[in-house]
Homo-oligomer: A and B are copies of this chain.
Amino acid sequence: MTNRRTTTHHSIALIPGDGIGNEVIPAARRVLDTVAARHGLGFTYETYDWSCERYADLGAMMPDDGLDQLRGHDAILLGAVGYPGVPDHVSLWGLLIPIRRGFQQYVNLRPIRVFEGVPSPLRGAGPGDVDLVVVRENVEGEYGEIGGRLGRGLPEEMAVQEAVFTRKGVTRVLDYAFSLAERRGGHVTSATKSNGIIHTMPFWDELVAERAAAHPEVAWDQEHIDALAAKFVLDPRRFDVVVASNLFGDILSDLAAAVAGSIGIAPAANLNPERDFPSMFEPVHGSAPDIAGRGIANPLGAIWSAAMMLDHLGHPEAAARVTDAIATVLAKTPVRTPDLGGTATTEEFTDALLEVLG
């Protein structure tokens, strides 16, 4: 894949996955096609049936040459993976995680906003009050292949997990975060835990100080993860760009989405900023087997993820058009899927959004 920032035609890999993934990806595609028509863009889609269903049939979530099949696309739009009976570590380690790691998608970007029309559970937080982005390190850190068990079943049994933080891996995600804060005219908060006995965290702090010095125009501070989680609840307004390790970012992004009342609509981008490989866009929600097949899934997470994809592909106006339409449909119409207290189907909600999109 080459840098296609300036081109207008893009080849997109769609991986609807399991459950409601199959309902929200078609909705996102309708939005993409509408926006494409308005902004002179063109999308070619290739759909991959990689899923727990495929695992049940063939014993693998994706084919051996899966990454090679994806490599030629400009971006990947993924629905959700997971199905009762298939252990999460099978479904995720067999699809989501190999893509993130194989394509060096080392930034997991999660914007969080309070929208008018979607109340925050916090007393004090209204629309506009919370507008932050979690920048999560996505390919190393606390999650990794180095670990296992000793003495299975014995009294002295143990399991170990090695967290590995590299100068290269931490530096690049920090640089992304500082540059993003600069573009936003904002500031950076680093999530740490250098006061507990975690030898990786004083190292993280040192690198933060180093990268901060390289971005002298960006203000920054740091908080221990326990205190930071508390502050997300007590004073979410004070945050702009929050940069965190793989595990801390995972926790903080879900927490922030809950604080904003938007857990079901949160998007995520798994970015390879150098564009050496395709990036992947996916709603944060899961496959929701309990409501799958009923056509009532909320497509906003997938649609917002598609907007992030537009931005990454070099079309910020088209992206803003979609996020503006999301804000408008929530603020100005009562149309909602059941998770937000409405009765609209996925299709009806998407219709309403397309109408706003014009």
Contacts and interface: CB of A to CB of B under 8 A. Distances in A.
A186 interface: no
A255 B230 CA distance: 5
Nearest to A263: B230
A121 interface: yes
Interface string A243-275: 000110011011101110001000000000000
Contacts of A161: 162-163, 198-200
A93 B251 contact: no
Contact of A122 (B123, B159, B162, B250): B123
Contact of A258 (B88, B229, B258): B229
Contacts of A167: 151, 154-158
Interface stretch (A139-147, A295-303, A326-334, A344-352): A139-147
B149 A199 contact: yes
Contacts of A155: 167-168
Given A255-B233, A258-B229, A196 B166 contact: no
A158 B158 CA distance: 25
A267 to B, nearest CB: 15
A124 interface: yes
A21 to B, nearest CB: 16
B234 A121 contact: yes
Contacts of A124: 121
A6 interface: no
A127 interface: no
So how many copies of this chain end up in the complex? Answer: 2
A40 interface: no
A48 interface: no
A199 B160 contact: yes
B263 A234 contact: yes
Nearest to A233: B258
A197 interface: yes
A167 B257 CA distance: 35
Contacts of A225: 250-251
A325 interface: no
A122 B203 CA distance: 36
A183 interface: no
A188 B142 CA distance: 26
Interface centre among A97, A164, A229, by most chain B C-beta atoms within 10 angstroms, is: A229
A342 to B, nearest CB: 18
Contact of A156 (B145, B149, B168, B247): B168
Interface string A67-101: 00000000000000000000011001100010000
A317 interface: no
A42 interface: no
Contact of A159 (B160, B195, B203): B203
A160 B200 contact: yes
A226 B123 CA distance: 22
A227 interface: yes
Top-8 shortest CB links A-B = A147-B199, A88-B195, A230-B258, A159-B203, A226-B254, A157-B167, A233-B258, A229-B255
15 contacts: A88-B195, A89-B194, A97-B197, A119-B123, A142-B163, A147-B198, A156-B167, A157-B166, A159-B200, A162-B162, A162-B163, A225-B250, A226-B250, A229-B258, A233-B259
